[in-house]
Chain A
């Protein structure tokens, strides 16, 4: 097997992991190859529109586990391959020097046992750091069930360490990944949280959940994320719309992956982490799933229309954040600017506010953007839905023109 064929097999087996970020770490160059930029850098974008930042590969796609949803499950009859540590180091350095990538994202199927697999990962990354003097970004998966000593050793070599929770509930995990024990995943998370430092998993940890493989509601999923963020101080929870790779009577027979649902979950995830929203603000047992037509923040605003319109020149930071079309940057700008002058609608545009959404929910110096009699739920809701669909259609049209 040529090295190129191996790369194809082991990238193909790794591609379903949603994480691509290379941010959150600072590495100044120590006379070797590479450094890390705090903001992260995207080097390319794949045909699915996802950013390519890291060389995302598996060390091997051989696996003793038989998780139902996974392309690499032991019962699948697929081509298997294994990289040697030298091969991984060579490809990483060759790609990095040419500025194709920001670093390496290494994961692996489980061969023999978790500790043996971890030792191989450590050997590879140690070689890359020490012999090849690679000082760029490395994200590595910790293998659930491996010993603390090995997790510590790996954590000292990488920028980000992660363990995938895989499914939103333990019942789901038991059903679809009978070899996996969720306690093994959470014990890695606790260990990383307790030991995180400048030299140990500098960029923090993340995890991933598959959406739509089992029958959880969005409320279940969001509660799980919320718990993970609070309990283990995760940097990110990634949501990965379930793609039917394997046929199994335990798996749903979806035709298309639930991408819109995934999108709504990411939007809600942001609201929880940065906008001061709580899970119960967004969903409850009566409405346990997100509205597909309208984003979670606008949905919340429409339900709480009695708290609007917010006056731009007076509302608090967190009140401004509740306005659809106002983000963190623009809310901060509004607070800083209004100390110096009275803000009007025109100024808001300059501050990065998405006025075509925000205008329904605000006043500037007491003025609404049109006659105040239009401040009604039906009117606003219809316009917001129309607007979201228009943007999508317009982009499609532009694209087709582009191709001709």
Chain B
């Protein structure tokens, strides 16, 4: 049964999964699922809010499937909720074989979107740049297309477990704060850095890095096209060796 209603959830991954489970149980095929924090009410739409506080469990979601749908959830894809709904609906039928049903649109869309999120995550594992603030705190700014702050936080909590660091997603106004034990993701209402005071050593280390960067390329092999292909321009703002600030000073 298809219907025109808009199903709302609170924007969390958990509630989205609960909502999808309920819809599947009720044999409803939704045409519209929306995050209620982003939804702007109007007189025409009929909205439905289902009580989703009860924890529901799935037994069909293998780790591989969970990862794929979580990555889609982190994307800014329009209708990502519906993509996930139809993907899950099909996993009931195909289980892990779903990954080989690329002729189905929802599978193609899910895998493409998940891949895109995964690619951006992988890129930023490398392109993210910390600077050192007073008190040995590391601070990085990012502005990714997808909401990968949680993925990056997990990565850096394993990589730099004894450091205090803050990663700021400028586009989404979210901070991830790591205190050498655990990271917390909070909005700019809950936390903000009033002023950024660089550590004494920071400019010196940065200068050394820029020297290294400029030296390591081989002049006879210069290939800017290749450099840009691998390091897309949209990330340059935060990569010190590519930023305007640095280029102006040269």
Contacts and interface: CB of A to CB of B under 8 A. Distances in A.
A52 B213 contact: yes
Contacts of B130: 97-99
B122 A29 contact: no
Nearest to B130: A98
A399 B228 contact: yes
Given A94-B201, A333-B100, A47 B207 contact: no
Most chain A CB within a 10 A radius of its CB, from B208, B214, B231: B208
Given A16-B218, A33-B162, A49-B225, 10 more contacts: A15-B216, A15-B218, A41-B125, A46-B217, A47-B217, A48-B223, A50-B221, A56-B216, A94-B208, A99-B126
Given A3-B208, A4-B207, A34-B160, A257 B221 contact: yes
A100 B209 CA distance: 8
Q: Pick the 7 closest A-B CB pairs, nearest first.
A: A49-B226, A47-B217, A46-B217, A49-B223, A48-B221, A336-B100, A43-B126
A47 B132 contact: no
Contacts of A49: 221, 223-227, 229-230
Nearest to B224: A47
B230 A91 contact: no
Interface residues of A, number: 60
Contacts, number: 158
A340 B216 CA distance: 50
B100 A337 contact: yes
A341 interface: yes
Interface in A93-115: 94-95, 97-100, 102
Task: Report whether over half of chain B's contact residues are helix, strand or loop; otherwise say mixed.
Answer: helix
B213 A46 contact: yes
A41 B126 contact: yes
A347 B103 CA distance: 6
A31 B162 contact: yes
Size bin of chain B's contact surface: 35 or more
B120 interface: no
Given A41-B125, A347-B103, A35 B158 contact: yes
A35 B230 CA distance: 24
A44 B126 contact: yes
A91 B102 contact: no
Nearest to A95: B209
Contact of B215 (A15, A44, A51, A350): A15
Interface string A382-404: 00000000000001100100100
A341 to B, nearest CB: 5
B126 to A, nearest CB: 4
Interface string B135-164: 000101000000000000000101111110
Contacts of A46: 213, 216-218, 227
B131 interface: yes
Contact of A340 (B101, B161, B209, B211): B101
Contact of A98 (B138, B217, B225): B138
